[in-house]
Amino acid sequence: MSRERLYLFDTTLRDGAQTRGVDFSVEDKRAIAIALDKIGVDYVEGGWPGANPTDTAFFADPPALKRATFTAFGMTRRPGRSADNDPGLAGLTGTAAPAICIVGKSWDFQVKVALDIPLHENVEIIGDSIAHLAAKGREAMLDAEHFFDGYKANPAYAMECIRAAWAAGAKWVVLCDTNGGTLPHEVERIVADVADAVPGIRLGIHAHNDTENAVANSLAAIRSGARQVQGTLNGLGERCGNANLVSLIGTLCLKPDFAERFETGITQDGLRHLTQTSRLLDEILNRSPNRHAAYVGQAAFAHKGGLHVSAVLKDPRTYEHVPPESVGNERHVLISDQAGKSNILARLHDVGIDLDPKDPRVDRLLETVKEREYLGYSYDGADASFELMARRVLGQIPDYFFVESFKVLVERRYNARRELVTVSEAIVRTQVDGNKLLSVGEGNGPVNALDAALRQDLGKYQRYIEDLELVDFKVRILQLGNAAAVSGPASVDRWQAGTGAVTRVLIENADGQGNRWFTVGVSPNIVEASFQALTDAIVYKLYRDGAPAGTGPAE
């Protein structure tokens, strides 16, 4: 059975640019447009030429797209002007964009309040504007703003608006849930009514996420006859955002009810790049990806509960709705106090340690993890510290170096230019093969100074850590109730009374070969917690790079 074509329209660069805190440069827009084109999106709406210098410059030198239709966005002609004399429309037709999407009002209330013109005039404006674009040879589309609210308030008028666009030559009439308050059952009914009332009309859906239903509303519209679906990468957009195109692509391509009925432009390879495309956007916006994003989040295929892990190891379909690799994501098995033996075994396997489930060391490891999590450690995000902890229990981590003591000073003073500065200095005394070393490091904060001192001189290990870099540092204050506070590495396993806050430090490290790893430290003292995470980072690198063992501290 042949499938119907469903068109995907991306508005990341237009509605997504209306997100609070998002400000794309021309080069950002180009990179995103090319990534969308690569995965097989049909339309890339680049912005509103004429509205701001970035969009004007972007349209003046459009990206070379292979598959997608580059689309300009604007609004219908202004009241009191002819379409031929409207500067806004001229700005759109002055670009080379083969498709132009204009927003027009379809809610009588909006026409009265926002435009302040008679209802019939707005209908004429829509018709004229679309006819003008079509006459210029462009693929004209109407974004029927507030269509669902308009239809609920005055269905006859809302229909009159979209009939005008269709009759004037619109290739698509996109029904917008502009305020995002419409629910899926309403969308399903209203889109079906419209499709029945105007046979042959090509409908699109543009849903906002104000009730967290934008994706559901888009799917409902498709079920009722919409054949173009608009959305944005990672759900960017005005207020609560738009329908998340990433989630929509996953569902449309992988769920049989849609995938068997509709063909999209998304290629197999494009689908496998979905995770990468979603993360590229976050990278460009310089923000952390949402770990819990459907399909593409780091946690989307992360298994934590013992029952889950045990079953996933037998067959991943027990707790996964689609295979992670189908969208370019991967499976993670997390270690935590929810863990059973299966988690530990799976995680050990990941780091190259295969133990028999009956091996008593597995129980010891499980106990150690649970105790340490109780103290405030978290291995969910700190793979390297997990591996070190496991290998230490198994006696596989040699003594490399020994830190006798460290001291950190923070000084706030006026410098020679009478500027107020805060400087930090750290002094670390270490031993390598019985040789005593003293290093001093300076930094813009105590952790930075400690990191500099630790890595300044590690004797024969120095060459292994030359390219080590601290790339991210996160601090979390934990209230452990009646659990213990810990005071240092030697006392980590010693329980203490008290209810003090404990600091958990998570450090991301990188080296010159492109490896990245996370380590964790816990203490009531932030510097001590950082010290643990920093030393774990160094030990992990020494172990992984096969550095020779040391002889331990001198007596």
Ligand X SMILES: CC(=O)SCCNC(=O)CCNC(=O)[C@H](O)C(C)(C)COP(=O)(O)OP(=O)(O)OC[C@H]1O[C@@H](n2cnc3c(N)ncnc32)[C@H](O)[C@@H]1OP(=O)(O)O
Binding site for ligand X (CB under 6 A): 18, 48, 51-52, 75-76, 78, 103-105, 114-115, 145, 178, 238
Reference 326, options 362, 368, 255, 272; nearest CA is 272
In this complex, which beta carbon is closest to ligand PYR, that of residue 176 or of residue 327?
A: 176
In this complex, which beta carbon is closest to ligand X, that of residue 29 or of residue 303?
A: 29
Cβ neighbours of residue 258 closer than 8 Å, sequence gap 6 or more: 6, 219, 222, 251, 252
Residue 208 near which of ligand X, ligand PYR, none (CB within 5-8 Å, type-dependent)? ligand PYR
Binds ligand PYR by CB under 6 A, chosen from 10, 12, 15, 100 = 15
Reference 243, options 234, 231, 253; nearest CA is 231
Binds ligand PYR by CB under 6 A, chosen from 100, 125, 176, 339 = 176
In this complex, which beta carbon is closest to ligand PYR, that of residue 214 or of residue 327?
A: 214
The answer to whether 10 contacts ligand PYR (rule: CB under 6 A) is: no
The answer to whether 208 contacts ligand PYR (rule: CB under 6 A) is: yes
Q: Closest distance between ligand X and the C-beta of residue 17, in Å?
A: 8
Q: Closest distance between ligand PYR and the C-beta of residue 18, in Å?
A: 8
Measure CA 517 to chain center.
Answer: 19
Residue 48 near which of ligand PYR, ligand X, none (CB within 5-8 Å, type-dependent)? ligand X
Q: Closest distance between ligand PYR and the C-beta of residue 205, in Å?
A: 11
Strand duo 69-75 + 43-47: pairing: parallel
Residue 206 near which of ligand PYR, ligand X, none (CB within 5-8 Å, type-dependent)? ligand PYR
Which residue minimizes CB distance to ligand PYR? 176
In this complex, which beta carbon is closest to ligand X, that of residue 21 or of residue 360?
A: 21
* Tally of CB atoms within 10 A around 82: 10
| Two tokens, residue 44 | 């890339």
* C-alpha pair distances (Å), 47 with each of 30, 139, 184, 229, 511: 11, 16, 28, 17, 39
Q: Closest distance between ligand PYR and the C-beta of residue 400, in Å?
A: 58
Q: Closest distance between ligand X and the C-beta of residue 185, in Å?
A: 24
In this complex, which beta carbon is closest to ligand PYR, that of residue 182 or of residue 509?
A: 182
* 181-205 CB burial, b ≥16 within 10 A, e <16: ebebebbbebbeebbeebeebbbbb
In this complex, which beta carbon is closest to ligand PYR, that of residue 142 or of residue 483?
A: 142
Return the DSSP state at 12.
T
- The set of long-range contacts for 251-254, using a CB threshold of 8 Å and a minimum separation of 24, is 251/215, 251/219, 252/6, 252/8, 252/222, 254/322, 254/326, 254/327
On whether the CB atoms of residues 29 and 46 are closer than 8 A, the answer is yes
Give the full edge-to-edge strand order of the sheet including 420-432.
402-414, 420-432, 435-443
The answer to whether 105 contacts ligand PYR (rule: CB under 6 A) is: no
Binds ligand PYR by CB under 6 A, chosen from 8, 72, 89, 103 = 103
Q: Closest distance between ligand PYR and the C-beta of residue 229, in Å?
A: 14
The identity of residue 32, as a single letter, is I
The answer to whether 508 contacts ligand PYR (rule: CB under 6 A) is: no
In this complex, which beta carbon is closest to ligand PYR, that of residue 204 or of residue 250?
A: 204
Binds ligand PYR by CB under 6 A, chosen from 45, 145, 383, 528 = 145
In this complex, which beta carbon is closest to ligand X, that of residue 106 or of residue 503?
A: 106
Strand duo 435-443 + 262-263: pairing: unpaired
The dihedral over CA atoms of 197, 199, 204, 210, expressed in degrees to the nearest 10, equals 20
Distance between CA atoms of residues 184 and 107, nearest Å: 19
Which residue minimizes CB distance to ligand X? 51
Residue 115 near which of ligand PYR, ligand X, none (CB within 5-8 Å, type-dependent)? ligand X
Residue 76 near which of ligand PYR, ligand X, none (CB within 5-8 Å, type-dependent)? ligand X
For 406, the 3-state DSSP assignment is strand
| Two tokens, residue 131 | 């006819």
Q: Which residues here bind ligand PYR, judged by CB under 6 A?
A: 15, 103, 143, 145, 176, 178, 206, 208
